[in-house]
Amino acid sequence: MYETLQLEIISVIESLNQLRESPDYELCRLSGQKAGVLDELASERARLLDQESTELEKPAERLADEIKELNGEAASRIE
């Protein structure tokens, strides 16, 4: 019984160490220390996603134009 408890304690300690090394734990710790940190991070992430989306719109439009051209060529070949 004693050995089983020791093994369980070791397992729990290892799990806690893994948890403390995770980014989620750090985020949880920061949110407990500073109110509003999650809102700040969410706003920053949303801003970065908007920026990335804007940057991807131009290549997407170019590809859409290329697809239209290719479809137009394929349609004219069939006719």
pLDDT tens figures, 13-26? 999 999 999 988 88
Hey, what are 18's tokens? 């893994």
Entry pTM: 0.53
What confidence tier does 8 reach under pLDDT thresholds 50, 70, 90?
Answer: very high
pLDDT, mean over the chain: 89
> For 32-69, how does the pLDDT look when each residue is reduced to its tens digit (9 = 90+)?
898 899 899 999 999 999 999 999 999 999 999 999 99
Which one-letter DSSP state was computed for residue 8?
Answer: H
Q: Residue 71 corresponds to which tokens in the numbers above?
A: 């479809």
Predicted pLDDT at 31: 87
**Distance of CA 45 to CAs 2, 23, 25, 56, Å?**
49, 15, 18, 16
Tokens of 65: 């134009």
Distance between CA atoms of residues 51 and 42, nearest Å: 14
